[in-house]
Amino acid sequence: MSATDTPKRSMRTPLGRVRNLGAAHSGTSDFWRQRITGVAMTLLMIPVVVIVMMLLGRNQAGAAQILGSLPIAVILLLFIFASAWHMKIGMQVVIEDYVHNEKLKLTAIMLNNFFSVAVALASTYAILKLSSGV
């Protein structure tokens, strides 16, 4: 480094540089989690569409027979979990960015978490109930 070069100054603290975290102290973990769930949903989309097409026009017994297959139930459950997690992360980012009242933000994030879990559990229950033939 020559005498005329000025070192780059950073607004980060030394600990922040070591941890590589931004102002929110969470780094890019939500960004990457949302990309990973998006890729998972993209990869699972073709099998899910095929499964739904197989279910068209069937009665409950026919649907239970198709969903009774372990690989089909697993594919649907993976798609449900990836979708619910993706939905939770996406809504949380929107809430954090656009809701400025802290109490309302906390309430909205909690409701988002509960809603995402409820959707995942209800969907899982439906798949397991149909696949077990009960």
Let me know if residue 1 belongs to a domain: no
pLDDT tops 80 at residue 111: yes
Domain count, the chain: 1
pLDDT at 12: 65
Mean pLDDT check: name the lowest of 22-36, 52-66, 80-94, 100-114: 22-36
Kindly report the pTM of this predicted structure: 0.75
Let me know if residue 49 belongs to a domain: yes
pLDDT tops 80 at residue 3: no
Q: How far is CA 119 from CA 23, 41, 47, 99, 129, in A?
A: 31, 16, 21, 23, 15
pLDDT at 28: 79
CATH code (residue 34):
1.20.1300.10
**pLDDT tens digits, residue range 22-68?**
555 555 788 899 999 999 999 999 999 999 999 999 998 888 889 88
Let me know if residue 2 belongs to a domain: no
Let me know if residue 11 belongs to a domain: no
Q: Alpha helix (H) ranges present in the chain?
A: 14-19, 29-55, 60-67, 70-98, 102-132
